[in-house]
């Protein structure tokens, strides 16, 4: 999601140089669905730099997109070496989704989880506005309706730390997107440590859950390399704090 305009080689080099460990590749630019050559190239470049491939960000919108697209997404994820797919729970907020449409989203997610599971892959659903994960209550209901579905958590605009911690505790996410926004949300990207009041306790909560969640940087201010390196250093520092506490 960061450095979309850069090549795979550039992205991998920047991530490795910043001391990161995991790369999440997305299907909108670098690894399109069923482009197995691109998937293999991204996998090789990632591993060659001592990094792991994380989630394959598919942008598949359950209940909206054609379910027949899922096999191609699974094939691509396997070639990429990704352990899981990232998907959306529809494109309409939970309060505005009619009963029949919600049922269609749930059924599409079940089918996606089943098909991915047959290939040994997991599925994470993005915790996102304009979807059935827009509230904690709806996200938890969805988890009960779709066994095997796992949370991919991220904060909202102007997030309240207490609410975020409640979501993290309840959802036990496998993946977290880390970023800091101002009042204007997506259009006002801030340095990660502008919300140290949020991220330090969130990382502590993740560590208390076992520390297995992947925390991935997103929405770096200006997609600027210096800003990326600053935020990566800050994230590593907070991670090391948690490791020190745990030891």
SS3 231: helix
Distance, first Cα to last Cα, the chain:
33
Domain with 226 in it: 175-247
Q: Supply the DSSP string of 49-110, one letter for each residue.
A: TT-EEEEEEEEEETTTS-GGGHHHHHHHHHHHT-SEEEEES-SS-GGG--HHHHHHHHHHHH
Backbone phi and psi for residue 243, each to the nearest 5 degrees, phi listed first: -65, -40
| Co-location of 44 and 115 in the same domain | yes
Backbone phi and psi for residue 65, each to the nearest 5 degrees, phi listed first: -80, 160
Backbone phi and psi for residue 97, each to the nearest 5 degrees, phi listed first: -90, 120
- Can you give the pLDDT at residue 59? 94
Q: Is residue 93 part of a domain?
A: yes
| Co-location of 185 and 146 in the same domain | no
- Can you give the pLDDT at residue 233? 98
Q: Is residue 130 part of a domain?
A: yes
- Can you give the pLDDT at residue 188? 93
pLDDT one digit per residue (tens) for the chain, 247 residues: 689 999 999 999 999 999 999 999 999 999 999 999 999 999 999 999 999 999 999 999 999 999 999 999 999 999 999 999 999 999 999 999 999 999 999 999 999 999 999 999 999 999 999 999 999 999 999 999 999 999 999 998 889 999 999 999 999 999 999 999 998 888 899 999 999 999 999 999 999 999 899 999 999 999 999 999 999 999 999 999 988 887 6
Per the document, the length of the chain is 247
Quickly tell me which residue has 């998937």 as its tokens: 39
Q: Is residue 63 part of a domain?
A: yes
Pick left, alpha or beta for residue 46 (phi over 0 → left; psi -120 to 50 → alpha; otherwise beta): alpha
- Can you give the pLDDT at residue 174? 97
Selection from 135, 247, 125, 231 nearest residue 179 by Cα:
231
Q: Is residue 161 part of a domain?
A: no
For 194, how many CA atoms within 13 A lie in the half-sphere containing its CB?
16
CATH number of the domain where residue 44 is located: 3.20.20.150
Q: Domain count for the chain, please give it.
A: 2
**Which residues does residue 53 pair with via DSSP β-bridges, in sequence order?**
23
C-alpha to C-alpha distance for 96 and 136, rounded to whole angstroms: 16
| Co-location of 141 and 179 in the same domain | no
C-alpha to C-alpha distance for 131 and 89, rounded to whole angstroms: 5
- Can you give the pLDDT at residue 243? 80
| Co-location of 121 and 47 in the same domain | yes
Instruction: Name the burial class of residue 246, with classes exposed (0-12), middle (13-18) and buried (19+) by CB atoms within 10 angstroms of its CB.
Output: exposed
Cβ atoms of 108 and 70 closer than 8 Å: no
- Can you give the pLDDT at residue 10? 97
| Co-location of 134 and 219 in the same domain | no
C-alpha to C-alpha distance for 139 and 67, rounded to whole angstroms: 21
- Can you give the pLDDT at residue 244? 82
| Co-location of 144 and 23 in the same domain | yes
Quickly tell me which residue has 């859950």 as its tokens: 209
């Amino acid at each position: 999601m960061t450095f979309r305009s850069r090549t795979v080689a550039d992205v991998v080099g920047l991530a490795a140089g910043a001391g990161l460990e995991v790369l999440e590749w997305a299907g909108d630019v670098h690894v399109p669905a069923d482009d197995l050559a691109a998937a293999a190239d991204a996998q090789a470049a990632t591993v060659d730099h001592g990094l792991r491939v994380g989630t394959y960000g598919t942008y598949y919108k359950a209940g909206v997109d054609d379910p027949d697209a899922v096999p191609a997404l699974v094939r691509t994820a396997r070639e990429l070496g990704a352990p899981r797919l990232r998907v959306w729970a529809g494109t309409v907020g939970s309060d505005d989704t009619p009963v029949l449409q919600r049922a269609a989203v749930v059924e599409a997610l079940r089918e996606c989880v089943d098909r991915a599971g047959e290939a040994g892959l997991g599925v994470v659903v993005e915790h996102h506005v304009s979807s059935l994960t827009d509230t904690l209550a709806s996200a938890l209901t969805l988890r009960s309706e779709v066994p095997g579905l796992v949370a991919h958590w991220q904060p909202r605009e102007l997030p309240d730390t207490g609410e975020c911690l409640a979501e993290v505790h309840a959802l036990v996410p496998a993946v977290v997107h880390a970023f800091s926004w101002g009042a204007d949300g997506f259009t006002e990207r801030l340095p990660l440590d502008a919300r140290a009041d949020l991220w330090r306790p969130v990382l502590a909560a993740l560590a208390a859950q076992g520390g297995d969640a992947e925390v991935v940087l997103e929405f770096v201010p200006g997609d600027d390399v210096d800003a990326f390196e600053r935020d990566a250093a800050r994230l590593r520092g907070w991670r090391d704090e948690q490791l020190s506490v745990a030891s």
